[in-house]
Structures are given as structure tokens and as C-alpha cells.
């Protein structure tokens, strides 16, 4: 399996860094995500505006904290049953009962049972 970080340039994804690991299909550990992040963050440099786009593989709170510590921003998919907290009250995306065409954006939420954040949650 390979974890890959690419930079988008002229409508193309150019690989910037990667880790190849043996493992079962599915999510890899946050430790590997953070190792990949350390590999690429110095290549980008501090002067760049960076927005990390990630699929559900990259929604771990250790990974997100590393991105935030660098001053980068992120957008990532997550499971619709992940725990979110608004003013201390727990809910998940499933609780919103969205219909096709619905859109919800909520700011200043805590993410997962680790209560990471303040994050913005968007469901479409």
C-alpha cells in the first residue's frame, strides 16, 4: 500500500512524498500519516499557503494537529457516524437526517471523542 501526498499544479496531482508499507486494506495508523507529513512539510516551506485535502484515511486528530501546528489548513472527509460536539453536546452527521440537496455548515465544533478542534463541519 502507498500513502501519497501530492501538490496540485495546472490541474494535475504531482507526487511530493510517499510511504510504501505492507498492510491490510483499510486505514493505516496515524503514526504513518504523521511520518509522511514530516517528510513533506519541509519541502513546501513556511512561505506557502497550503490547504491539505484528504479522504477519510486522513481524518485522525494527531494528523490534523500536526497540520494546524504548521499553520496549514485542511479539508477532509470523515465518516457520517464520527462524534462531533457542539457546546458539549455530542452528535454525528447521521443525526442531521439530510435529504438530497440539503447543505449544513456548523462552526466551532469539537471533533471525535478526543474533542479535537475547533472545526467546521459541512454536510451535503
Which tens digits make up the pLDDT trace of 30-81? 899 999 999 999 888 778 889 999 888 888 899 899 999 999 999 999 999 9
The pLDDT tens digits of the residues spanning 28-41 come to 888 999 999 999 99
What gap in Å lies between CA 64 and CA 34, rounded to an integer?
Answer: 9
pTM over the 0.85 mark: no
- φ, ψ for residue 99, nearest 5 deg: -105, 160
Would residue 8 be called left, alpha or beta, if left means φ above 0 and alpha means ψ between -120 and 50 degrees? Answer: beta
Q: What is the pLDDT of residue 15?
A: 93
Return the C-alpha torsion angle 123, 50, 65, 13, nearest 10. Answer: 70
Collapsed DSSP state (helix, strand, coil) of residue 32 = helix
Amino acid at each position: 500500500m502507498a500513502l501519497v501526498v501530492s501538490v496540485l499544479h495546472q490541474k494535475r496531482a504531482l507526487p511530493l512524498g510517499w510511504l510504501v508499507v505492507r498492510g491490510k486494506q483499510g486505514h493505516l495508523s496515524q503514526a504513518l500519516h504523521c511520518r509522511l507529513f514530516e517528510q513533506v512539510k519541509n519541502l513546501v516551506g513556511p512561505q506557502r499557503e497550503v490547504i491539505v485535502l484528504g479522504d477519510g484515511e486522513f481524518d485522525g486528530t494527531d494528523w490534523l494537529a500536526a497540520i494546524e501546528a504548521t499553520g496549514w489548513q485542511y479539508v477532509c472527509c470523515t465518516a457520517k457516524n464520527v462524534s462531533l460536539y457542539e457546546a458539549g453536546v455530542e452528535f454525528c452527521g447521521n443525526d442531521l437526517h439530510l435529504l438530497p440537496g440539503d447543505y449544513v455548515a456548523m462552526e466551532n465544533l469539537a471533533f471525535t471523542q478526543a474533542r479535537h478542534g475547533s472545526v467546521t463541519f459541512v454536510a451535503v
